[in-house]
Structure 1
Amino acid sequence: MHIIRGEADIQEGLEALVELDPRLRPIASEAGPLPLRLVEPGFAGLAHVVVSQSVSRASAEAIWKRIGASGEPLTAAAYAAFHSQAWREFGLSRGKAETLSRVALAVIDGSLDLQALGQETPESAMARLTALKGIGPWTAEVYLMFCVGHADVFPSGDVALQAAVGAAFGMEKRPQAKDLAREAAIWSPWRSVAARLFWALYAVQTRRDILPIG
């Protein structure tokens, strides 16, 4: 099991990928340098991913700035200590606020160890995260990729990845999540690097940085 900790791991993964699937060579040339964007695992990392769900980058960053306005680290205990209506002031939806509260309580009572997920297989870590109401596959996958560093995760439900893969391989229409997951199987055990590759390609082609972690 590979854990991505730096640029050298990204390069190792990319070199392995173009051997596994030669179709990726011209894509890698067009995409340019691949983003690392690792952040520390823990409550703040997962909270940032939750905040980023289904909103624009600008909206997510504005909400995140309000949550962190105190300047203190955003721990599970700190979030749990916010007053009951703080989520309205932050600009969070009720659903996201409830999800963050559930995550915070799980971390506090010890039923969820966000740092320890790097010691589990991606499948086991995914199951542990998605067992919490409000944490869906995309959120869990992005956390495991960009906070924990799991190298073999591919968020096949991500619309930008679907669009990028569909365009790169000349598909008549954007592949659905199950079809993209099947396509991505060939890129194991480096699917997280493959996802970075196609996000980078999408950014080059659209001139938009839509990577989930800023």
Structure 2
Amino acid sequence: MTAPSREAVQSACEALSDIDPALARAYGVTGVPEWRTHAPTYALLARTVVYQLVSTRAADAIWGRVEAFLGEVTPERVLACDQEALRACGLSRPKLSHMNTIAAAIADGALDLARLQVADVHAARAELLAVKGIGPWTADLYLLYAAGKMDAFPHGDAALMEAHRRLSGYEVRMDNKAFSAHAERWRPHRGVAAHLLWGWVNAERAKAGIPPA
């Protein structure tokens, strides 16, 4: 697992607070956010695919069955297992297909997870997006969580857009295109901005007695 240093994140938070009042408000609540980290594995990519376009509760149930069926979720086990039995865990055919194409890309070396760790964010993102089944949201979350890329940014994340709307006092939140354009102001620390907004969301959830997202 890779994460930027606390000092680097703090410096970025201070710079972002000078750029965007909404982020300054979030920083005032969260302080330096804890970086979300995961091991740089195939399992993280597969899990992100499973969690797309379904509720968290449903995805939790599906992923739990996948883990119970496979044990350790690795490219080798996915490619070698009974595909219909794996699909019976609750996977749609497209998601099962994506899990297989990602597994095959890792197995044949087209996708090198170790290389992603040391590549710059643009090269790493391009390598991920070259694999069928890995879209921008999946790629950017992987680069944030597993590679600690401070400028990776999950475009279209509804929680981030809603948090920024509320912190800005807007009645209507920006659409994806407008929010992505606004986030350009946060370079090269868009990933830190995402952590500030997620941190603020979870602080608000904690006030309401709701578990963190």
| TM bin (shorter chain) | 0.7 to 0.9
Q: Whole-Å Cα distance in 1 between the matches of residues 143 and 211 of structure 2?
A: 20
Per-residue deviation, residues 70-97 of structure 1 (Å, max 9, x unmatched): 6743211111111120232211111111
Distance of 1:63 and 1:12 partners within structure 2: 39
Q: Retained in 2: the 8 A contact 1:31–1:201?
A: yes
CA distance in 1, matches of 2:11, 2:62: 36
- The alignment's TM-score, normalised by the length of structure 2, stands at 0.86
Query: In structure 2, how many angstroms separate the alpha carbons of the residues matched to 1:8 and 1:63?
Result: 38
Distance 1:176 1:129 in 2: 25
The answer to whether structure 1 residue 104 and structure 2 residue 103 are counterparts is yes
C-alpha distance after superposition, 1:154-205 (max 9, x if no partner): 2121111111112211233211122111211222221111101112222333
CA RMSD in angstroms comes to 2.3
Structure 2 CA distance for partners of 1:46 and 1:170, relative to 1, 3 Å: same
Cα deviation code 1:5-34 (max 9, x no counterpart): 455543343233224445522221224562
Aligned 1:34-183 pairs, distance under 5 A = 34-69=33-68, 72-183=71-182
Aligned to 2:191: 192
The secondary structure found in structure 1 opposite 2:3 is coil
Distance 1:161 1:41 in 2: 23
What's the CA shift string for 1:43-63, capped at 9, x where partnerless? 111111111112222222222
2:70, 2:108 → 1: CA distance? Answer: 25
Number of equivalenced pairs: 209
Q: Is the 8 A contact 1:156 1:162 kept in 2?
A: no
Where 2:83 maps in the other structure, the secondary structure is: coil
Gaps of 5+ in 2: none
Question: TM-score normalized by structure 1?
Answer: 0.86
Q: Distance in 2 between matches of 1:12 and 1:209?
A: 29
Gaps of 5+ in 1: none
C-alpha distance in 1 between matches for 2:34 and 2:81: 34
